[in-house]
A and B are shown apart, each in its own frame.
Chain A
Amino acid sequence: MLRFLLTRLAGAVVVLAIVAVLVFALTRLASGDPVALLLGDQATTADIAQARIQYGLDKPLPTQFVLWVGELLQGNLGQSLFLQRPVSQALLERAEPTLFLALFAVGIAALIGIPAGMSAAIWRGSAADQAVSSVAMLGASIPSFWLGLILIQFFAVRLGWFPASGYGDPSASFGERLQHLLLPALVLGLLNSALIIRFTRASMLDILGEDYVRTARAKGLPERVIMVKHVLRNALVPIVTVLGLTLALMIGGTVVTETVFNLPGVGNLVVRAVLRRDYPVIQGTLLVIAAIYVFINLGVDFIYTLVDPRIRLEGK
C-alpha cells in the first residue's frame, strides 16, 4: 500500500516538474515585450534595459528557469507586473469567489447528476433513460457564457430575482454572497452535471450486473433495499471520484463564467493578466491550478485505496 502511494506521489512530482517546464516555456515564447508594454510609449531604450535587468529578463533562459524554480520552491510566485503586489497575494485575494463558486457548482451538479444517473441506470433502455442521456449531451453542447447571458437576461434583467453581476460590497454577508453566486453556480452546475450523470449511470450498471445483486434479488429482498444497500453504496466510490475530478477541473474552468458574471475570482484575474501580458500572473495561476488538479487527483487515489482493498492489494 505504501509502495503504491509512493509510486503515485513520485508520478505526481514528475508531472508537476513537466508542468513547470511547460509553463515557463509558454510565457517565454510569447511575442510582445511585457516590459515595453509596462513602461509605455514614453520609456527610452535605457529605461527598458534597466527594467529588464530589474526583472531578471536579461539573463539567459536556462538561468532564468533555474532562478524561477528556486523561487517557486520557496513559495514565491514572483511579482505581478501591473498589480504592484506578489502573484501569490493576488491569487489569495481572488481565491474566495472561485472556491465558493466551484464548491457550489459541484454541489448543484451532484444534486442533479446522481439522481438522474441512478434513475437512468435503474430503468435502463426506457424512455427516461434515453431522455436523461440526451439531456446530458445537451448540457455538454451549450457554451457556458451563452447560458449565463440567457439566465442573466431572464432572471436578473427581466425578473430582477438575482443581481446580474459582481460579488457584492466587500462587507456583504455570506447570504448576499450566495445570492451573487447562485446564477453562475447554476450555469456551471447544469453544464457539468453531464459527466456526473454518465459516470453514475455507468457505475450503477456495473454493479447491477454483479452476482451479489442477483443473490440479493433471489433472497427476495425488496428492490428499494437492494438499490440503496447493495448497489448505491458500492457505486459511490467511482461517483465520489468523479465529483473530486469535477471540482478540480472547475477551479480553473470557471474562467468564462466569472467573466460573464463579473466575479472577482481567479479566472477574472487571469483573463486580465492575459490581456495585459502580465506573465508572472499567468505563470503563477497556471502553475497553481495545475498543482491543485494534480493533488486532488492524488487525494482521490488515496481515498480510493482506503475504501477499496482491491486496489491496495494490486500494488503488491
Chain B
Amino acid sequence: MRAAIVSLWNSAMPVARRLFGRKIVLAAALVLLLVTGVAVLYPLLSDADPGAIEIGQRLHAPSLEHWAGTDELGRDVMLRIVHGARYSLLIGVVTAAGAVLFGTLMGMLAGFFRRLDAPLMRVVDAMMSFPDILLGIALVSILGVSLWNVMLALVIVYTPRVARVVRATTLVLRELLFVDAARALGVRTPKILCKHILPNLMSPILVQVTFIFAYAILAEAGLSFLGVGVPPDIPTWGTMIAGSLDYADRAFWTIFCPGLAIVLTALSLQMLGDGVRDLLDPKLRKAA
C-alpha cells in the first residue's frame, strides 16, 4: 500500500511540476481552487441567507459592508455570488461529466466498429449543425424550465463534440500494435475497449472536460438571460444577471459582478485545459 502511494506520488510529481511550471496555469488552478473552496465551504460555515430581503438596503453601491453592493431587493450581491457559485459549478460539473460519459461511449463505438461509424457520425454532424445556444433553447423549451433540464439540455448539446474528438483518437489507437497484440492474444473486444483504448483516451477527454465545464457555465448564463434557463428563484450567476437587468442603468454592479465571476471561472478553466493540452500533446503525437 505504502509502496503504491510512493510510486503514484513519484509519477505524479513530475507531471504536476510540468503542468504548473507555467505560471499562468498555476494561477488558473489556484483561482479554481479558491472559487470551489469558497462555494463549498462558505455556506457550511456561515448561515447568512442569500435570499434575505432588506428593502431599506436597496441598490446600495459596493462598500466595505457589501463588497459587491446590493440588488433591487436589498440582497447582498457578493453573498449571492458565493451561493450562486454552487449552482453554476454544479451545472458545469454535471454537464461536463454527462457529455463526456455519453460522448466517449459514442465516439469509441464509432471509432472502433467500422459499421457504426457512418451512422453515428452523421447523427453527430446533424446535431452539430445547430448552433449551441439555439439547440439549447429549443431543448429547454421542450423539456421545461428547471435546473435539471438545463443540465440535460447542455449534456445533449455538448455530447457530439466529445464524440467527435474521442472517435478521431480511437481511429488512431485502433491501428496501433498493442491493440493488434491484444487481439492476437485472444482478448475480447469489450476488454480491449476498456483496458487498452479507454486509458489512452484520457488525455483528450480531460481537455474536453475543462472546456465543456467552461462552456456550460457560459451557456447557462445565456439561457437564463433568455428566460429559458434555470428558474429565477435559484441564484446562479446567470439568473442573477437576468434578474437585475432592469436595474443595469442605476446599479451597474448588480450585473457586472456576477458576470465577472463567470469570466474569471471560465477563463481559468480554459487556461487549465490549455495547460493540460500542451502537457499531453507530445504524447498524442507519438501515438499517432
Contact = CB atoms under 8 A, between A and B. Distances in A.
B225 A259 contact: yes
A310 B196 CA distance: 35
B228 interface: yes
B222 interface: yes
Nearest to A285: B134
Contacts of B139: 26
A251 B249 CA distance: 30
Interface string A7-39: 000010011101100100011011100000000
Contacts of B267: 137-138, 141
B270 A137 contact: yes
Nearest to A144: B222
A296 to B, nearest CB: 10
A142 interface: yes
Contact of B134 (A15, A31, A145, A253): A253
B138 A15 contact: no
A306 interface: no
Contacts of A133: 274
B226 A255 contact: yes
A259 B133 CA distance: 13
A227 interface: no
B255 A30 contact: no
A251 B131 CA distance: 9
Contacts of B263: 138, 141-143, 146
A31 B245 CA distance: 29
Interface residues of B, number: 44
- Chain A interface mostly: helix
B245 to A, nearest CB: 8
Contacts, number: 136
A143 B138 contact: no
Interface string B238-265: 1001000100110010011001001100
Nearest to A142: B263
A270 interface: yes
A290 B270 contact: no
B141 interface: yes
B178 interface: no
A67 to B, nearest CB: 21
Given A19-B126, A30-B142, A141-B267, A153 B248 contact: yes
A196 interface: no
Nearest to B270: A137
A150 B214 CA distance: 21
Interface in B117-139: 122-123, 125-127, 129-135, 137-139
Contacts of A29: 142
**Interface size for chain A: under 10, 10 to 19, 20 to 34, or 35 or more residues?**
35 or more
A18 B132 CA distance: 17
Contacts of B143: 31
B141 A274 contact: yes
- Chain B interface mostly: helix
A289 interface: yes
Contacts of B221: 143, 145-146
B218 interface: yes
Contacts of A277: 141
Contacts of A134: 24, 271
A146 B142 contact: no
B62 interface: no
A145 B263 CA distance: 12
B194 to A, nearest CB: 29
Nearest to B218: A143
A146 B130 contact: no
Interface string A242-261: 00000001011101100110
A242 to B, nearest CB: 15
A69 interface: no
Contacts of A30: 141-142
Can you list the 4 inter-chain pairs with the closest CB atoms, starting with the nearest?
A252-B131, A141-B266, A18-B126, A146-B259
Interface of A: 11, 14-16, 18-19, 22, 26-27, 29-31, 130, 133-134, 137-138, 140-146, 149-150, 152-153, 157, 249, 251-253, 255-256, 259-260, 270-271, 274-275, 277, 282, 285-286, 289-290, 293-294, 297
23 contacts: A11-B122, A15-B122, A18-B122, A18-B126, A19-B130, A29-B142, A140-B266, A141-B214, A141-B270, A143-B238, A143-B263, A145-B225, A149-B248, A149-B259, A253-B132, A256-B226, A259-B225, A270-B134, A271-B228, A274-B226, A275-B227, A289-B130, A290-B129
